Every structure is written in structure tokens, then in C-alpha cells.
Amino acid sequence: MAEKRDYYEILGVSQSADLDQVKKAYRKLAIKYHPDKNPDDSAAEGKFKEATEAYEVLSTPEKRQRYDQFGHAGLEGMDVSAQNFGGFEDIVNNIFGDFGDLFGFSDSRHGQTGPKRGRNLQYDLEIDLEDVVEGKSTEINIPRLEACETCNGSGAEPGTQPQVCPECTGRGKVSMQSGFFSVTRTCARCGGQGRVILNSCKVCGGEGMTQKTRNLRVSVPKGVDTGNQLKVRGEGESGVNGGPPGDLIVVIHVRSSEQFIRQGNDLITAVCITFTQAALGVEVDVPTIKDTEELQIPPGTQFGDRLRIGGKGIPYYNSRASGDLIVIIEIQTPKSLTAQEKELLETFADMRGEQIESDNSNILRRIGERFFRNADGNR
């Protein structure tokens, strides 16, 4: 693959550019290189994709920060973005959302006459944390509107045809003189369709659509997280007047686990050991998401210490690497002692003289490091 260009350079903005400036710069390039304006021009298409990718990164604070820090390498396997799932068109669609009708698609998308693209459907899919490790193929049932089979979506009773609208004579628009201006309006009689149905189809009541439940298999890639979206092309609602169907957007929700806390691609779990084990060291079995793993706890381990088992966390999307399993140690102090145990411990205490650290600020600093360092994602 060719060397990737710097995203700031591509958009022609400085590193300190704010979101507005990034948007403006992208908008300019997008209009110039948009494939609709440059049909069959692969150089323009390349520029458009390049600018779109740069925009995607520089307009997402988290990605931009990674990029600023680590360059292109910082974004590899970072998360499951639209880019990973559905390819570049998804990003464009997302940005169209931002920019509205900038690219002049308004006619085909919102126009009253002619083919209309079906609506996108959203489906919320709950999966278990375990499914995130391997990925999952699952069946979902989606209720959606499909073209009525009786009338083939025309809305007219079989054997009859929609008629040319008498109000607008099929233009879908009516013009009215208002002062100096001629105002053109969508025809109210036919809703801009240019045709009216005189005999409605009895099955769909003239809507041309009926409610159907569709069974689909979707495969959820490993490494996904709550809020990630999968786009299944063409599985949304049927288009109108021969327009293309919308897409199905599957929104992932990962159920929380009782054994693990997820932190990005790391998993956090806890094990409890006795105070003698903490002092002497011990080998314990730690539950991982698939089975268990042996963990050597070193002598002198303190309450709240974190031990890391590499690669036993959540895999990264599109990568063989995985996050780690972080094991937080809890130390159990015996709540009741026999007379003999007490005596032994007292002997032990005498032997040691039981000198403990009394510098309060030092203790507080350590506790802060142990319990709060991960709150902001630091390790």
C-alpha cells in the first residue's frame, strides 16, 4: 500500500483547526471531488475517499487524539467504526447526515415524484460479552414494510391502474400566481405522485405496502462494543415507486457480565486471597472469558494490586491482537481466630515488631494510584 498522506495536509488545515474548520475544508473538497460530479474519474474518486477518511478521523475527537499522538499507526484496530463495517459509503452517508442536501441528492431522496428509497430500519441486538470474543452469527426477525404482493406495490386493485391525477395532469405540482411570483406547490390531490388510485388494493388499502416479518442472519464480528452499528444493505423498508430499499442498521448492545468489567479491550476481574497467601505468594486459578488461567501471585502482594494476564481480554476487530485481563487482588483477613491461631499471630507480631508505615500522604497517594488510576483510562 502506498504511504498514507497526513490527514491535516489532505484537508489543508492546521493541527489546531477546530471542528468547524475541518468541516468546512472537507465540504470544499467533497464538493469538488464528489463522484457524482466526476463520473468515471478514478483520481477524483481517490481524492474524495482520501478526504473523507481524513474528515472521519479529524472530526472524531478520540480518533483525532490517537492520530495526533501516534499517527496512522495509532488508528489501526482501534475500534469498530463505520469504516470497518460497511466501507466508505457508510461514512459518506454519515456525513450526508451532517451536511444535509449539500450534494444535491435532495431530488431523488425527498422529491415527491419518482422512485423513493425505502427507509432505514434500526434493530437493537443484545449479545453477551462471550459473543464478543469469538464473534457471533445470529438470526433476527425484523418486522418491516414490504411491497404488497397483491398489487405489486402499486396500491391499485389488481386489474386496475393508477390514473393520471386530474388536478395536476400528472405533473405532481401545481403552479399558482402570487403577486409577481409564480409559486409551485406539490399537488395535494396526488401528494405529488402525479397519479391517483381510484380502486384501492383491498389487501394493503392502497398503501402499496404490507407489514411482513423477515428472518435474517447477521454475523456480528468479534471485538464489537455497545453502540457499534452494523449496516445490512438493502434490508430496510422497500422503496416506493421502484426506488431502492433502505438499509437495516443493527445496533449492538453488549450485556454486562457478572464476572468481568469491560474497559475498552481489557477485561477486569477480581480474585480473593488470604493475608498469608498475600504475604507468601500463591498460585491461583483466575476465570477468563473462555476458561481459567493460572496466575502466580508474588509474595508481598498488597490489597488492590493489579496483575495483568496478556491477551486474555477482548480481541480487536480485524486483528489477531487482544486486550488483557486485569486481575485485582482482594485480601481477606480472618474474622475469628482460635486461641491457638491468636497465639501464633501474636508471636508473629512480636517477632516483627509490627512497624508499619505512618506517612499518611504516601498511603493516600498509593491508594489513589490503585483505585482511581483506571477511572480515566490510564494504566
Residues within the interface to Zn ion (CB under 5 A)? 148, 150-151, 165, 167-168, 187, 189-190, 201, 203-204
Shortest CB 113 distance to Zn ion, Å:
9
Q: What gap in Å lies between CA 268 and CA 308, rounded to an integer?
A: 9
Burial annotation 145-156 (CB, 10 A radius, 16+ → b, else e):
bbbbebbebbbb
Q: How do beta strands 325-332 and 266-274 pair?
A: parallel
Shortest CB 121 distance to Zn ion, Å:
20
Residue type for 256, please?
Answer: S
| Residue 184 or 276 with smaller CB distance to Zn ion | 184
Helix ranges (H only) for 210-338 are 275-280
| Residue 147 or 250 with smaller CB distance to Zn ion | 147
| Residue 22 or 165 with smaller CB distance to Zn ion | 165
| Residue 121 or 204 with smaller CB distance to Zn ion | 204
Task: For 68-101, give the DSSP string.
Answer: HHHGGGGGTT----HHHHH-HHHHHHHHHHHHTT
Task: For 43-68, give the DSSP string.
Answer: HHHHHHHHHHHHHHHHTSHHHHHHHH
Shortest CB 192 distance to Zn ion, Å:
7
| Residue 50 or 146 with smaller CB distance to Zn ion | 146
| Residue 122 or 175 with smaller CB distance to Zn ion | 175
8 A C-beta contact, residue 167 and residue 186: no
The residues, ordered by sequence, that sit 6+ positions from 360 with a Cβ below 8 Å of its Cβ are: none
Q: What gap in Å lies between CA 142 and CA 137, rounded to an integer?
A: 16
Shortest CB 213 distance to Zn ion, Å:
18
- For helices 88-99 and 19-33, angle between their N-to-C axes, nearest 10 degrees: 110
Shortest CB 175 distance to Zn ion, Å:
12
Exposure of 168 in the CB half-sphere (CA atoms within 13 A)? 21
Q: What residue has cell string 466526476?
A: 38
Shortest CB 201 distance to Zn ion, Å:
3
| Residue 188 or 363 with smaller CB distance to Zn ion | 188
Residue type for 314, please?
Answer: I
| Residue 129 or 151 with smaller CB distance to Zn ion | 151
Q: What gap in Å lies between CA 262 and CA 39, rounded to an integer?
A: 46
Q: What gap in Å lies between CA 154 and CA 141, rounded to an integer?
A: 26
| Residue 34 or 144 with smaller CB distance to Zn ion | 144
